[in-house]
């Protein structure tokens, strides 16, 4: 994939971390103030999708693998989290853990199949596997079929904090989101992350240097699926709902769109992209099906005109890394 050429290769390394640090602080500040200015529920939903997009970006942006089936991990984590909270009566943190573990297992199985093929086939395999699990969700008892799982109780965090309080829920989601972003940042800048980038740039060469690239790809895939699971599981608790929309293929397309709009292979791109796309859907809801046409148009425009995405363009203009 074409990516932002790192403009800071020759500059002192203090600068590199600083622009990312400043970006992170701005993000924290905005998200801390935002619930007082706009609907907390919208923000919480947006943060869940932002984390989902960041998880997806870990694969496409840093390993160069396009998964077209990330709805599988998001959706099934959301189902299991909702089921655990509603039917098993688990506390929210355990419900989210249950959902996350489900996504991790699904990621391990789907990932080990998908990494057997490269490039375009990888995308088709992930899409097909996700569709298979969509059909399964349609029939399975646990998912509630067309109805989904409704009225999921938010419960009490660690048995103490009542999450039906909007601000308490907001703080939890914010904490999960920030922890997720920091975790991804840590992965990207670890030696493991450097190997991932090497695979993205030239897999054959990474193999010749003695790296077992399949294992690296699988671990990256499982990490990405797991984080997508965290996002989905949290979303089920926040919106108190898990439905077929979350596992169906348009959801997989949406997360690709968010990441593409924000900027592939940037830390903050997926976050910005998720907020932009959700805001757009929210504002354009009255015009119905035209949203689909507009989303398609954005896809086309992004691919043809600005492949760097919003954050990628800014970073490129300012010669910084974001």
Partner 1 sequence: MIEIFGIPSQALFGQLLIGLINGSFYALLSLGLAVIFGMLNIINFSHGAQYMMGAFAAYLILQYSGLGYWPALIIAPIIVGITGVIVERLFLQWLYKLDHLYGLLLTFGLALIFEGVARNYFGSAGLPYTVPESLQGGRNLGFMFLPNYRAWVIVASLVVCIGTWFVIERTRLGAYLRAATENPTLVRAFGINVPRMITLTYGFGVALAAFAGVMAAPIYNVSPQMGSELIIVVFAVVVIGGMGSILGAIVTGFGLGVIEGLTKVFFPEASNTVIFVIMAIVLLVRPAGLFGRRA
On whether the CB atoms of residues 167 and 35 are closer than 8 A, the answer is yes
The nearer residue to partner 1, 166 or 201, going by C-beta atoms, is 201
Instruction: Give the whole-angstrom CA distance, residue 315 versus residue 40.
Output: 29
CB of 36 to partner 1, least distance (A): 36
Query: Which residue's CB is nearer to partner 1, number 91 or number 131?
Result: 131
Looking at the Cβ atoms of 134 and 275, the one nearer to partner 1 is 134
Q: What are phi and psi of 4, to 5 degrees?
A: -65, 125
Minimum distance from residue 246 beta carbon to partner 1 (Å): 17
Q: How far is the CB of 114 from partner 1 (least distance, A)?
A: 8
The encoded tokens of residue 127 equal: 């899409």
Q: Is 63 helix (H, G, I), strand (E, B) or coil?
A: coil
Q: Which is nearer to partner 1, 153 or 253 (CB)?
A: 253
| Terminal-to-terminal C-alpha distance of the chain | 18
CB of residue 250 to partner 1, shortest distance in Å: 8
Apex 293 CA angle, 292 and 298, nearest 5: 95
Sign of CA dihedral 36, 55, 277, 286: negative
Question: Of 89 and 250, which has the nearer Cβ to partner 1?
Answer: 250
Interface positions with partner 1 (CB under 8 A): 1-2, 60, 66, 68, 113-114, 116-121, 123-125, 127-129, 131-132, 135-136, 138-139, 249, 253, 256, 260, 288-293, 295-300, 302-304, 307
CB-nearer residue toward partner 1: 25 or 284: 284
Can you read off the two tokens belonging to residue 193?
A: 């992350």
Q: Please report how close the Cβ of residue 83 comes to partner 1 at its closest, in angstroms.
A: 21
Which DSSP state fits 223?
Answer: H
Alpha carbon distance 10, 43 (integer Å)? 38
- Measure the CA–CA gap between 121 and 184, rounded to whole angstroms: 26
**C-beta of 239 vs 276, nearer to partner 1:** 276
Least Å from the CB of residue 216 to partner 1: 18
Shortest distance, CB of residue 123 to partner 1, whole angstroms? 6
Q: How far is the CB of 53 from partner 1 (least distance, A)?
A: 15
Given the complex with partner 1, which of 160 and 305 has the nearer CB atom? 305
What are the backbone dihedrals phi and psi of residue 70, each rounded to the nearest 5 degrees, phi first? Answer: -70, -15
Residue 132 parent element (H or E) = helix 119-139
Residue ranges in 189-268 assigned as alpha helix (H)? 191-201, 203-208, 213-239, 249-262
């Amino acid at each position: 994939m074409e990516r932002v050429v790192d403009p800071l290769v020759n500059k002192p390394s203090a600068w590199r971390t600083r622009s990312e640090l400043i970006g992170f602080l701005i993000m924290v500040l905005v998200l801390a103030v935002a619930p007082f200015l706009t609907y907390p529920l919208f923000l919480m939903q947006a943060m869940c999708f932002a984390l989902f997009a960041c998880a997806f970006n870990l694969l496409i942006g840093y390993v160069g693998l396009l998964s077209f089936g990330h709805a599988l991990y998001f959706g099934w984590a959301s189902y299991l989290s909702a089921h655990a909270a509603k039917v098993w009566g688990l506390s929210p943190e355990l419900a989210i853990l249950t959902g996350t573990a489900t996504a991790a297992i699904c990621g391990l199985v789907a990932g080990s199949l998908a990494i057997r093929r490269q490039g375009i086939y990888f995308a088709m395999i992930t899409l097909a596997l996700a569709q298979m699990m969509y059909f399964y969700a349609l029939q399975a008892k646990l998912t509630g079929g067309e109805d989904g799982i409704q009225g999921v109780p938010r419960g009490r965090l660690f048995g103490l904090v009542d999450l039906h309080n909007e601000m308490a829920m907001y703080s939890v989601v914010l904490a999960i989101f920030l922890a997720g972003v920091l975790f991804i940042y840590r992965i990207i800048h670890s030696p493991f992350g450097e190997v991932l980038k090497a695979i993205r740039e030239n897999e054959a060469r990474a193999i010749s240097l003695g790296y077992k690239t399949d294992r690296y790809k699988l671990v990256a895939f499982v990490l990405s699926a797991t984080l997508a699971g965290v996002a989905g599981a949290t979303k089920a608790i926040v919106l108190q709902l898990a439905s077929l929309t979350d596992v169906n293929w348009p959801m997989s397309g949406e997360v690709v769109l968010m990441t593409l709009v924000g900027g592939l292979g940037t830390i903050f791109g997926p976050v910005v992209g998720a907020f932009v796309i959700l805001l757009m859907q929210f504002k354009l809801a009255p015009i119905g099906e035209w949203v689909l046409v507009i989303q398609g148009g954005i896809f086309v425009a992004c691919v043809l005109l600005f492949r760097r995405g919003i954050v990628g363009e800014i970073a490129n203009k300012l010669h910084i890394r974001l």
